[in-house]
Structure 1
Amino acid sequence: MGVRHRRALFASRVSRVRPDPADAAGVRVWRVDLDRAGARRGWRLLSCAERERALAFADPVERRRYVVAHAALRTVLGGLCGVPADRLGFGRDGSGRPCLLPLGRRPVPDFNLSHSGAWALVATAPPGARVGVDVEQVRARFDHLALARRFYQPEEVARLRATGPEGFFRLWTAKEAYVKASGVGLAGMSDVLVREGSATHATVLSRSARFPECRVRWLDVAPGYAAALVTTALVMTALVTTASTPAPRTG
């Protein structure tokens, strides 16, 4: 199997959730099956620091999933920016959020990565907008109400008595996606209120002066998982496709 074919095969393991095809500047989310994509093909895309973090995982399954998730992030961003995936540089913005280092004078997209269990999500937003995404594997055997009392508003805790763990993780992903988009940190999660509007959309209200209100889109990732997207962009995710990402370019 040739190098180009292996790269294309890795990219084909990443399926995309995208906005209306008529709007190329909207928010996009790529869904990554961490147990199907090849870690060996993704390893060469990672930086030295990313490889060191991967090797720190004692569990080989978690190590492989980390490699695949971060290689997918580089593949997506490299394709959007027209830059070889292994040439991208990452840093932190003023809020402590991960960001792309400048690529000359070109504005760079905002992005966010989340992974849990066998799935990862990569979200991107146009320059100037913010995006946060979270995916969580639903776990039934834990005291979700005790954790909810610490991080949730009283009216949210009351709703959870009827919805159980699934409802807990549904709200959690919305709150964490907001925290990741805004940069307020987990300490600000208790100040966030999720107002559910429909089965797929909601609004996040916060005491944050910069981002007092953001829109939420819940995402259907896989059975047994909850996921949510929060963005300040005008265009929200609209549909799920099976389109693959561009094959990763390397320098």
Structure 2
Amino acid sequence: MGVKPATTTDPRAGDAWSWPSGVRVWKVSLDRAERAVWWGWLSEGERDRARAFARAVDRRRYVVAHAALRSVLGGLCGVPADRVGFAKDPSGRPRLDLGGGRPAPDFNLSHSEEWALIAVAPQGWRVGVDVERLRADLDPLAMAERFYRPEESARLRAAPGAALAGYFRLWTAKEAFVKATGGGLARLGDVLVHDGGHGGGHGGGHEGGHEGSATCERSRSLGGPVRWLDVAPGYAAAVVTISSTPAPRTD
């Protein structure tokens, strides 16, 4: 089912990434005036979490992000935004609950400061997405030595001028992979990212390129494609899809 175009009361952004597999990613600006109708879409639990934020800007961004998630999922599934239901799988990973045993797409949400990304994958796939603002106060080479695989650290050392962007490029791919797997099947330190280049990943409804892949060192049968997204200057973002068929654990 297609997604209706964004309107003045719709928190979704007008552009999205899409791929032949049916995976789609929406980009949402969180620094926009909050509309009263969006608050009404949220569950009581979501409202409680919004009220708990100390800063008004964080509260507003949370409301916009979660209203946008409901708008996207409701538009895809033919459900009003305020009636989109959520549940958790046995591992605690959020899932869409349409009721009555209806099949539902997989989804994932990530936000960092003024941007949010919403990823949706068709049945048979699990999706993870991550967006991060680049931190200039971070020493990427030192951090990579501590947290990344040796071959990943070597790639960053080979291009020191691009080490900061490269560090977050790897980080977002690892985070997206962990979010896609869920259930503790993979930890950040277990994930090896194979960077296939910088082609693709454009917005505006275009298909992004298959730029790389990620695998779990504890279970080599667990892996999937990585696609990096150009969200905005100063940000890194990636989306990962894996088969929803459980992979055997080898640890």
Query: Normalized against structure 1, the TM-score is what?
Result: 0.82
Question: Hey, what does 2:118 align to over in structure 1?
Answer: 122
Shift of 1:186: 9.6
Question: Hey, what does 1:108 align to over in structure 2?
Answer: 104
Unaligned runs of 5+ in 2: 1-5, 200-210, 244-251
Q: State the superposition RMSD in angstroms.
A: 2.2
- Residue 11 in 1 paired to residue 21 in 2? no
- Residue 153 in 1 paired to residue 163 in 2? no
* Correspondence list, 1:131-146, <5 A: 131-146=127-142
The structure-2 alpha-carbon separation of the partners of 1:221 and 1:62, relative to structure 1 and needing over 3 Å to count, comes to same
CA distance in 1, matches of 2:130, 2:224: 15
- The code of the aligned residue for 1:209 comes to S
* Correspondence list, 1:4-43, <5 A: 8-11=7-10, 13-19=12-18, 26-36=22-32, 38-43=34-39
Shift of 1:61: 0.5
Q: Deviations over 1:74-121 (max 9, x none)?
A: 000011111111112212113321111243232000000000010000
Shift of 1:150: 3.4
- The code of the aligned residue for 1:120 comes to A
CA distance in 2, matches of 1:221, 1:153: 26
- The code of the aligned residue for 2:123 comes to P
Report SS of the residue matched to 1:10. coil
- The code of the aligned residue for 1:150 comes to R
Residue-pair matches, total = 224
Query: Does structure 2 conserve the Cα–Cα contact (< 8 Å) formed by 1:195 and 1:204?
Result: yes
- Residue 177 in 1 paired to residue 176 in 2? yes
The structure-2 alpha-carbon separation of the partners of 1:81 and 1:213, relative to structure 1 and needing over 3 Å to count, comes to same
Q: Percent sequence identity over matched residues?
A: 59
Question: Hey, what does 2:192 align to over in structure 1?
Answer: 193
Shift of 1:177: 0.4
Q: Deviations over 1:149-207 (max 9, x none)?
A: 33310111122232321111110000000000011549711011111112141110213
The structure-2 alpha-carbon separation of the partners of 1:231 and 1:37, relative to structure 1 and needing over 3 Å to count, comes to farther
Report SS of the residue matched to 2:118. strand
Report SS of the residue matched to 2:41. coil
Unaligned runs of 5+ in 1: 1-6, 234-251
The structure-2 alpha-carbon separation of the partners of 1:82 and 1:208, relative to structure 1 and needing over 3 Å to count, comes to farther
Report SS of the residue matched to 2:129. strand
Shift of 1:208: 4.7
Shift of 1:42: 1.5
Query: Normalized against structure 2, the TM-score is what?
Result: 0.82
Report SS of the residue matched to 2:95. strand
Shift of 1:15: 2.6
Shift of 1:12: 6.3
Query: Does structure 2 conserve the Cα–Cα contact (< 8 Å) formed by 1:35 and 1:65?
Result: yes
Shift of 1:14: 1.6
Q: Deviations over 1:5-30 (max 9, x none)?
A: xx93132652332325xx5x600111
Ranked by relative contact order (alpha carbons within 8 Å, sequence separation 6 or more), the top structure is 1
- The code of the aligned residue for 1:220 comes to D
Query: Does structure 1 conserve the Cα–Cα contact (< 8 Å) formed by 2:25 and 2:117?
Result: yes
Tell me which moved more, 185-194 or 137-146. 185-194
